[in-house]
A and B are shown apart, each in its own frame.
Chain A
Amino acid sequence: MSKILCLLVLLLSLSGCGPKAAPWLSEGYQRLENFKTDFLTGRPAAVTEAQFRKAAEEIKKSGDLDLLGKVWLTRMALQIAVLAEPEEGEFSRVDAAEPVPANRNFLRFLRGDPAAEEALLPERYRGVLPSLRGGTTSELSVIIEKLDDHLSRLIVAGIAVRGNRESEPLFLLAVETASRNGWKRALLAWLKRLESFYGASGEAAKAASVRRRIEVIAP
């Protein structure tokens, strides 16, 4: 109880510091961050979806369709990062109401569409695009490893897998990234894909080792 009291006092005093963001932005941002963490760590779908819905509702309060589009694209990117099928949700409606070239371009990038333009992508992805389109799979892994942002690494790795650019170093990098961040859902997804990859390559011993790891950590 004393800790909660201390926390409330602390939060109240902290709320007096620094410039204030609009409540919808703070709440929307926080909910979106919670959604990302909950999604990647594998919390129940009902909880993660509730976080996402709340984030979208908060952004809708501002009527800022650019941000709303980004929220939906974030969801799709996370689905790709855990090797799930991306769902566009309301993005098409948002984009039809107010097209934002950068958002539409990011959607193309997520889909692996060759029409995606490098210049319109967030800066960290610009160097990755040529390797995604051509170059060897080992080069691609090296480029992805250079991405500082770990979520971006998984997103690009997911796009690479969807474009049939699979390789052992890519899987190991994705597994390592998910593992280091404690993103259990992503970790299990990549481990399962790695197991299938080993199985298909005839490396039964490695596949069995990955399977044992999955069995230990799976819920």
Chain B
Amino acid sequence: MSQRIEFKVGLFITITTVLIMASIGYVFYQKGIFARVHTYTLSSKTGETLAEGMPVVYGGFTIGRVSSLELDEHGTVLIRFKIPERYNRVVRADSTFILEKPLIGSPRIVVTTVNLTGPPLSPAAVPEITVSSDINEIIKRAQPIVDKADRIMGSVAQITENLADPQGEMRRILRDAQKVTSRLSKQESLLEMAVGDPHSVRAIHETLGKLRDIATRADTLLVAAETLTGRTGEQIYGQDGVLPLVRAILHDLQGKLAKLNVALDNINRISGDVAGSTRDLQVLRSELDAVIIAVGDLVAEVDRKIPFKDKPEIKLP
């Protein structure tokens, strides 16, 4: 009787053990533990951020993991990773391997294969891994902006104060520019110049001096405005902001100066025989050229510094 009970207990233990082993075996089978695994090697100049167990990803799916890291005799890091048989079809000879270091999340090796029917990657081949570091890229591209951000803190108060102040630099520039443009637009001064009136020549010299002064002060203000952001940015860069207004005035100045330049050429031709007047006009001409260049540069600078003024436009290179 006791022998039958012992037999039953033995049978129970045996069956239970077999079932447990079978379950474990089934789980292992499903997990691909017994599947054939392919081992490949990549090389990298640095082992930074590389780690054993790092996922190898294709099309967003983890297809394998880094199994070991080694340093060879040349100082190159060798990265071995294992890919189960069922995913091996995506690793081809023309596959590229990019070590992605995303801003958020863990680093991973991304496999990109254009031609899935191409020849398989030889286990003896050691392609080099390419590093794509989102965070480094962002920091590198953003560094100039970060530097500007540092300057913003120092200049916001100064600029806003300046904009609000009726006697401030920006208001003064606008007043001066309006004065000069209206003066330049008067035909009388040109006519007086044509007849060689020295007062008129002197007046133009003063006007040019004033223009140069405007250009210098506007340039100083641009340097400060460049670092402005936030609510005051709208006041500066917005459609009705101060910078577009300055830009329009400078364009106007540029146009009028160009006309003045042509007029001077004509005057030079007309009054070529009047020695004194000609000398004055030649000096004036060279000064005018210098101012035209300065204002032109300033306009280009304003155009460059007004951010988000246009929609990005994709053009032929």
Contacts and interface: CB of A to CB of B under 8 A. Distances in A.
A11 to B, nearest CB: 8
B309 interface: yes
B312 A73 contact: no
Interface in A10-30: 10-11, 13-14, 17-19, 21, 25-26, 28-30
Contacts of B312: 21, 25-26, 29-30
A84 B273 CA distance: 61
Contact of A19 (B138, B149, B311): B311
A47 B150 CA distance: 31
A22 B150 CA distance: 30
Contacts of B150: 6
A144 B238 CA distance: 37
Contacts of A59: 314
B315 A70 contact: yes
Interface string A45-73: 11100100000000100000001001101
Nearest to A122: B316
A7 B316 contact: no
A134 interface: no
A44 interface: yes
A152 interface: yes
Interface in A79-110: 102-103, 106
Contact of B149 (A7, A21, A155): A7
Contacts of A50: 98, 112, 132
Contacts of B146: 3, 6-7, 10
Contacts of A17: 229, 233-234, 237-238, 307-308
Interface in B233-259: 233-234, 237-238
Contacts of B315: 70, 122
Interface string B91-103: 0000010100000
A67 B229 contact: no
Contact of A32 (B96, B234, B314): B314
Chain B residues touching A, range: 20 to 34
A47 B317 contact: no
B22 interface: no
Interface in B126-173: 130, 132, 138-139, 142, 145-146, 149-150, 152
A73 B238 contact: no
B313 A29 contact: yes
A170 interface: no
A11 B138 CA distance: 12
A18 B308 contact: yes
A74 B130 contact: no
A29 B310 CA distance: 13
A179 B287 CA distance: 34
A194 interface: no
Contacts of B308: 14, 17-19
B75 interface: no
Nearest to A77: B317
Nearest to A2: B146
B195 to A, nearest CB: 39
Contact of A78 (B98, B149, B229, B317): B317
A36 interface: yes
A151 interface: yes
Contact of B314 (A13, A70, A106): A70
Q: Which of A50, A71, A106 has the most CB of B within 10 A?
A: A50
A106 B316 contact: yes
B59 interface: no
Contacts of A67: 314
A41 to B, nearest CB: 12
A218 interface: no
Contacts of B309: 18
B46 to A, nearest CB: 14
A32 B316 CA distance: 11
A119 interface: no
Contacts of B237: 17-18
Nearest to A4: B139
Interface of B: 96, 98, 112, 130, 132, 138-139, 142, 145-146, 149-150, 152, 229-230, 233-234, 237-238, 307-309, 311-317
Interface of A: 3-4, 6-7, 10-11, 13-14, 17-19, 21, 25-26, 28-30, 32, 36, 44-47, 50, 59, 67, 70-71, 73-74, 77-78, 102-103, 106, 122, 151-152, 155
5 contacts: A7-B142, A19-B311, A59-B314, A74-B316, A122-B316
Top 10 A-B residue pairs of the complex, sorted by shortest distance between their CB atoms: A18-B308, A29-B312, A21-B311, A46-B96, A44-B130, A77-B317, A46-B130, A17-B233, A10-B149, A74-B317
Given A19-B311, A152-B317, 10 more contacts: A7-B149, A13-B230, A13-B233, A14-B307, A17-B307, A21-B312, A47-B98, A47-B130, A73-B316, A74-B317
